[in-house]
Amino acid sequence: MKRLFLLLLTLLLFVGSARSFELIMPNEKKSMVNTNYAFFFGRAKGYETISINDERVYIAPNGAFAHSVKLKDGENRIMVRSTYGMQIYNIYKNTIENQEIPMEEFSKRKAIVKNDNVPLRSTPVDAGLNRMSHLYEGTHLIVNGSKGSFYRVFLSKNKEGWIAKSDVMLVDSDYDSPAEFLGMDSERFKNAMIQTITFTKKLPFTIEDNETEILFRVYNPELSEDSVYNINIPKPEKYVYSVNSENGKYTFKVNKLTENINECTVVIDAGHGGREKGAIGCLGDEEKNINLKIALELEKLLKEKGFNVVLTRGYDSELSLKERIQIAKDSGADIFVSIHLNSISDIPMNIHKNRGTSVYHFNKNSKELAEYVKKSTTRSLGSHDDGVRTASLAVIRPTEYIGILVETAYMTNPLDSVLYTSKDFAQRAAQGICNGITDYFYSEK
């Protein structure tokens, strides 16, 4: 009788565990983190109910669920309980002390930029919307202070910037002669305006995209505190711009977007790929695969409209961000669209707020396209309008093309999981993006 009871108990436990929920994240029962929240998402089975630390969790019709737990410093014991079983997770949150970084003042010193494409920033922070320009290798700078991993760059008596210490080499020798101004020139074409300015050295510069013009400023602080050269180039409604440097000659170019659809090149970037899976969904779906499906559908639709189309990847391959940008530049991209699905960052989970379609841009020349694509994609998908946002994302930072990044839905939202796992999701998302690009192309202000 006792053996029979143990057999039945074992059987019941086995059946319960077989019918119990499947957690995609976290994937370890014990972990150590630096985040403020722990995220739990996965798939419930049958008519299962789930609670996490005694808080009832919403389960979507397809079984998807997601929940966040606020962590305290040190040990956190989290209980995930369902109709058929229970699991305990132990998550240790490291204590992070925010210490004020002191400012160090020192006399002016000369520094040389070591590489191309080095950010000159408005604040000593390696993130955010603080890029003033990207400097070239061999640019001559004056630094007069430091904070943390940054040097303060003296540009003029009214302007300063910041540059990473790792991107420059301090020069201990005395100043040589200041850079000399050699001349300026300009050329106007049907769809472009080119302005050049030449010095005997490479100098720091900043770029401001204003309401009606692009303002390029070149600084020569070795000559004087007031030595600033302003170049104002009017901009059309739809435009791209670029800066090139050869020795001390700077070429600033503003181009009007072509009005001939057969001459307009759209580069489609399917985010992630290869070993880089991207976000993982509540049901275990990998973002990289959905991105690619949308990209391939979008390629067909845009070609039917008459656009030239280039894919950064047409299969499950791994590309760096630099490689994606280089493909766009080598292809002469006019428009660049990077396709992704979103995920929740280190914030409280709100399935009614953190959902839907959002579009990101970095440069002002891309905001209008972002608005068009967001509007048409939410309409096509029937998704929640998650807005248009500005973000410093590598693939949409270049000004040589009009670049946006589309987050079609949230991988980690159970409501959105019903949407992105539907059979026609890729086609509908692609149709929405295509409509937005086309509407933007033919729009007039």
Give the model's pLDDT for residue 66: 95
3-state secondary structure of 314: coil
For residues 235-245, give the mean pLDDT: 95
Q: Going edge to edge, which strands form the sheet with 402-410?
A: 308-311, 265-270, 335-342, 402-410, 357-361, 385-390
DSSP string over 258-313? PS-GGG-EEEEEE--BTTB---B-TTS-BHHHHHHHHHHHHHHHHHHHT-EEEES-
For residues 129-135, give the mean pLDDT: 96
pLDDT, tens digit (0-9, with 9 covering 90-100), for 172-193: 865 568 999 999 999 999 899 9
Q: Is the pLDDT of residue 445 over 90?
A: no
Q: With contact defined as beta carbons under 8 Å apart, do 82 and 50 qualify?
A: yes
Q: Is the pLDDT of residue 133 over 50?
A: yes
For residues 71-86, give the mean pLDDT: 94
Q: Is the pLDDT of residue 20 over 70?
A: yes
For residues 291-301, give the mean pLDDT: 98
Q: Is the pLDDT of residue 16 over 50?
A: no
- Residues carrying CATH 2.60.40.790, the chain: 100-256
For residues 230-246, give the mean pLDDT: 94
- Residues carrying CATH 2.60.40.10, the chain: 19-93
Report the top-level CATH class of 261-442: alpha beta
Q: Is the pLDDT of residue 90 over 50?
A: yes
What residue has token string 């059979």?
A: 423
Q: Is the pLDDT of residue 73 over 60?
A: yes
362 burial type by CB count under 10 A (0-12 exposed, 13-18 middle, 19+ buried): buried
- Side chain identity, residue 3: R
CATH code for residues 100-256: 2.60.40.790
Residue 46's pLDDT band, with cuts at 50, 70 and 90, is: confident
Give the model's pLDDT for residue 99: 79
Residue 11's pLDDT band, with cuts at 50, 70 and 90, is: very low
Give the model's pLDDT for residue 175: 56
Residue 385's pLDDT band, with cuts at 50, 70 and 90, is: very high
pLDDT, tens digit (0-9, with 9 covering 90-100), for 396-430: 999 999 999 999 999 999 999 999 999 999 999 99
- Residues carrying CATH 3.40.630.40, the chain: 261-442
Q: Which helix (H) or strand (E) holds 329?
A: helix 321-330
CATH code for residues 19-93: 2.60.40.10
Q: Is the pLDDT of residue 258 over 70?
A: yes
